[in-house]
Structure 1
Amino acid sequence: MTLRIGCIADDFTGGTDVAAAFRRAGLRTALVFGVPDADTSLPADCDAAVIALKSRSTPADEAVAESLAAQKWLWSKGAAQVYFKYCSTFDSTPDGNIGPVTDALLDAAGAPLTLACPASPPNGRTVYQGHLFVHDQLLSDSPLRHHPLNPMTDSSLPRLLAAQTPHRVGLVPLTTVRAGVDAVREALVAHERDGVRHVVADALTDEDLAVLGAAALELPVVTGAAGLAEGLGHAYPASGPAVAEPLPTGGRSAVLAGSCSARTLEQIAEFYAAGLPSLHLDVLAAAAGRDIVTEALAWYDTQDADRPVLVYASASPDELAAVQRQLGVAEAAAQVEELLGALAARLVERGVRRLLVAGGETSGAVTTALDIRTVLVADEADPGVPWTRTTTPHGDLALMLKSGNFGAPDLFVRALKETS
């Protein structure tokens, strides 16, 4: 088996997002969690493989080392092109990690230049004149300016990248994109001649991203969010409609939420409004030594087995700030990951067979706790939010890993109802 394309995603929910994009383009896609080792295998007939790392907020040197190891493994499976997937809100800091990882991947591939575009129009992320918008707001005016790990206070992608790389950054404006594939290719050649290494591209629509994907088809390294990945997938020959991947049936359903994004908080509120059982975890009590996991499981055991349940550590901005003041940002995040990872393992032991997880760090903790390395991507409940299927020692599992900001407000209720 030879892959058409390999992808490195900088967090676990980002991995599911981009895997869904490849699948929409007609590529049978496998998702691998963590850097694969020599024994890691892929399902037969895969066109694309996505390696989901937890490198978005780690130190830049660690992110680079993991990404290079993933790139090497993808090359060993025959992938001639590697796509580096980061968040559609370009989550990073002046120290990285997008710039350093991209430079390392380019160096390893011997490639002089890459295209960068985090646009994801179905999710309201667009790029115009190099500035990133979230719906009708500049990124710096959106709720992402309050992100607990990577607050985004600048909307200019060229400026953001220039702070992270010693190399020149250029722009392909919307007028060039709208002129077509050949015009974009000519612009890339001109940028390469001028010594530009990172070329940001404008995109307002999926059609713009299709043009960019076709123009980038021969680049050894391409970077962006799921939108450009789908455009690139469609540019591969003989891509067609996605093949159905059946999900396991039977068993109980649960949601675990650790994200504190505005959309996840809306989804929690919708679940509660639907009259479904939900339990909020006391992170400060857990840090003080109380056995919150045992308490949560005792609550779960009293619930109706035919109804989905929600267990969450998500908090409003004020509540989160209070926890972080007492524990520190890193310790607060670690407590949430430990609690929800442990709960995931115990819930699957108790018969949960449909598990929806909200938040990138939470998703990483859950897949680690369940020792899940590879899944096949199935249907999406909402754009960028696919179900996946895998096997655990306790049976087959339908698993959804949701980026905090993705999905409609009723996603938790609807997705579990549709698969029950």
Structure 2
Amino acid sequence: MLLGCIGDDFTGSSDLGNTLVKAGMRTVQYSGTPTHPADPSVEAGIVALKSRSIPASEAVRQSLQALDWLRDQGCRQILFKYCSTFDSTPAGNIGPVSEALADALGADRVIFCPAFPGTGRTIYQGHLFVADRLLSDSGMEHHPLTPMTDPDLRRWLGLQTVRAVGHLPAAAVWQGSDAALARLEAEAEAGRPFVIADAIRDQDLLTLGRAVANLPLITGGSGIALGLPDNFRTQGLLNLATPSWRGEAGPVAALSGSCSRATRAQVAHHVASGAPALEIDAEAVLAGRTTAEDAATWALAQPGLPLVYSSADPEAVRQVQDRHGATEVATRLDAFFAATARLLVAGGVTRLITAGGETSGAVVEGLELSTLEIGPEIDPGVPAMRAGERLVLALKSGNFGAENFFAKAAVMLEAGT
């Protein structure tokens, strides 16, 4: 294994896998830290954790455990992958995990770059934009677990770390990889070893990828991985064979727990198209009036692509959280979707689509899926994935995908090579 990756959620990890596969690396995603060695043919291994919103100390523990396993597989470089909207709170978890990994690897300069231009995430002057809006005006300020209220990544990361935070401006990136590396080193020598890097184009990410070729630790969104495979390719380390993909026929279903603008638009499109859809009321789940058995029985009886969703307006979500507590609501809904997924697969579903990082993580854990082979891209940031002989999946981050994503994913998951 050449590149070892640690993802702080499951959809973000598959997003990263999508980037690496398109760039020619044989990539496998692992659900949690494996207890056995990797297949020797794997070139990039992604340990997907559900660590974005848990206590920082536990996120650090899990990440270091993943690091130990990846180093045992011979990885030459480590990438800590987090969301392209830098999802975190002032207490973490991006900063504490990055500091722990840097300490373990002896990394004295570390780049932070969540940019993903293909989905509208760009960084300029250290500020994160979503399309033409600052992060704090993009809808992410209403996220139920990690509300992003400050677009200045230097300031936001600085709240989470002991190390000082510097800046690698676009002007240096546009001068090429040597200039970018020189600025990164200058920031570290000035006492700012954690460096937010500007990137507004894929070309910027390729430049940054070349600049960090020899660094032990990189952090960022999936976009920062665009240029990493070429670093290994130029050393003659990559297998040039193209990975194949095999779709799966059979029943399909979709589960959505995301409240993002993009997912709510996708749900609305699905409903407007006349496709079967079942809205789940969080209060009914908490009270036991709606169960996973109810949802699965309904879905298995529907033709076409049934969608079970709890993607409510942020204000409605906030009201439920105020009454029951955010942690309790999230825990119960995650358990509901995990149980629903188990019943759907037991009932014959072979193509499963999930929307939302927390929901997807709960489903993967609930199904006890240990290894996911990354397949072709469905939409930017979302690949098809295979989990064994008879199950294929699409794990979608809440913010990703076109309005017709659910229908598009169902077709892709069935398609051949």
TM-score range, shorter chain: over 0.9
Assess, with a 3 A threshold, how the Cα gap between structure 1 residues 136 and 243 changes in structure 2: closer, same or farther. same
Deviation at residue 240 of structure 1 after TM alignment: 8.2
Say which of 211, 214, 219 aligns to 2:215: 219
Give 1:131's aligned amino acid.
H
Q: Aligned equivalents of 1:207 and 1:297: distance in 2? A: 45
Say which of 399, 402, 405 aligns to 1:408: 402
Say which of 64, 80, 85 aligns to 1:68: 64
Conservation of the 8 A alpha-carbon contact between 1:255 and 1:356 = yes
Pair 1:324-2:321 in alignment = yes
Assess, with a 3 A threshold, how the Cα gap between structure 1 residues 382 and 282 changes in structure 2: closer, same or farther. same
Pair 1:88-2:87 in alignment = no
Q: Aligned equivalents of 2:107 and 2:353: distance in 1? A: 39
Residues 220-279 of structure 1: per-residue CA shift (max 9 Å, x gap):
000000101122233322558882432342220010101111101111111112211111
Of 247-256 and 102-111, more deviation after overlay is shown by: 247-256
Q: Aligned equivalents of 1:291 and 1:140: distance in 2? A: 35
SS in 1 for 2:242: coil
Conservation of the 8 A alpha-carbon contact between 2:80 and 2:219 = yes
Residues 328-386 of structure 1: per-residue CA shift (max 9 Å, x gap):
11111112101110000000011111101111111111011111011110001001100
Residues 43-92 of structure 1: per-residue CA shift (max 9 Å, x gap):
44111000111111111100111111101100000002100001111111
- TM-score of the superposed pair, with normalisation by structure 1: 0.95
SS in 2 for 1:325: helix
SS in 1 for 2:254: strand
Residues 1-35 of structure 1: per-residue CA shift (max 9 Å, x gap):
xx110000111111101111111111010000112
Say which of 125, 129, 135 aligns to 2:131: 135
Residues 143-181 of structure 1: per-residue CA shift (max 9 Å, x gap):
001111111111111111111111111111111000001
- 2:368 counterpart residue number: 371
Q: Aligned equivalents of 1:137 and 1:241: distance in 2? A: 40
- 1:208 counterpart residue number: 204
- 2:281 counterpart residue number: 282
Aligned residues: 411
Q: Aligned equivalents of 2:240 and 2:317: distance in 1? A: 43
Deviation at residue 326 of structure 1 after TM alignment: 2.3
Say which of 163, 166, 170 aligns to 2:162: 166
* 4+ runs deviating over 6 angstroms: none
Conservation of the 8 A alpha-carbon contact between 2:118 and 2:380 = yes
- 1:398 counterpart residue number: 392
Q: Aligned equivalents of 2:102 and 2:370: distance in 1? A: 27
Q: Aligned equivalents of 1:345 and 1:247: distance in 2? A: 22
- After superposition, residues 11-30 of structure 1 pair within 5 angstroms as 11-30=9-28
- 2:175 counterpart residue number: 179
- 1:109 counterpart residue number: 105
- 1:267 counterpart residue number: 266
- After superposition, residues 182-197 of structure 1 pair within 5 angstroms as 182-197=178-193
SS in 2 for 1:214: helix
Q: Aligned equivalents of 1:324 and 1:130: distance in 2? A: 33
Residues 95-132 of structure 1: per-residue CA shift (max 9 Å, x gap):
11111111100100112111111100001000001111
**Residue identity (%):** 46
- 2:298 counterpart residue number: 299
Assess, with a 3 A threshold, how the Cα gap between structure 1 residues 267 and 242 changes in structure 2: closer, same or farther. farther
Conservation of the 8 A alpha-carbon contact between 2:257 and 2:356 = yes
Deviation at residue 291 of structure 1 after TM alignment: 4.6
Give 1:29's aligned amino acid.
T
Q: Aligned equivalents of 1:300 and 1:150: distance in 2? A: 31
CA RMSD between the two structures: 1.5
- 1:32 counterpart residue number: 30
Q: Aligned equivalents of 1:333 and 1:217: distance in 2? A: 39
Q: Aligned equivalents of 1:10 and 1:242: distance in 2? A: 29
Conservation of the 8 A alpha-carbon contact between 1:25 and 1:241 = no
Q: Aligned equivalents of 1:404 and 1:177: distance in 2? A: 30
Deviation at residue 191 of structure 1 after TM alignment: 2.0
Deviation at residue 211 of structure 1 after TM alignment: 0.4
Conservation of the 8 A alpha-carbon contact between 2:299 and 2:308 = no
- After superposition, residues 136-155 of structure 1 pair within 5 angstroms as 136-155=132-151
Pair 1:359-2:356 in alignment = yes
Q: Aligned equivalents of 1:69 and 1:91: distance in 2? A: 22
Q: Aligned equivalents of 1:303 and 1:259: distance in 2? A: 22
Pair 1:419-2:417 in alignment = no
Give 2:162's aligned amino acid.
P
Q: Tell me, which stretches of 5 or more residues in structure 1 are unaligned?
A: none
